[in-house]
Amino acid sequence: MLNNLLVARALRLEGTCTGEHGVGLHKMDFLLTEAGSGAVDMMRTIKRALDPHNILNPGKIFAL
């Protein structure tokens, strides 16, 4: 719950809220709001190109 409040506040201030290991599981719900659909689509395209079998951190950042 606190995580959601912190991320929402950062986004309201036109900033971002990240951890040292990136998006992970806690920011998945905010990624589209923060980065936009075009950027998320590009991330998915790159992920599929570099990891076609989805073996590197499956289920992290976004659903394929």
Cα 57 to Cα 7, 12, 54, distances in angstroms: 22, 29, 7
Residue 63, domain member (yes or no):
no
Model pLDDT, residue 26:
74
Domain that holds residue 36: 2-50
The pTM for the full model equals 0.74
Q: Is the pLDDT of residue 62 over 80?
A: no
**DSSP conformation letters of 14-56:** T----BTTBSTTTTGGGHHHHH-HHHHHHHHHHHHHH-TT--S
Task: Please answer whether residues 50 and 16 qualify as being in contact, where contact means their C-beta atoms are separated by less than 8 angstroms.
Answer: no
Residue 55, domain member (yes or no):
no
Domain count, the chain: 1
Q: Closest Cα to residue 31, out of 50, 55, 47, 7? A: 7
pLDDT in tens, 7-61: 889 999 998 877 666 666 777 888 888 889 999 999 999 999 999 999 998 888 7
Residue 40, domain member (yes or no):
yes
Model pLDDT, residue 3:
80
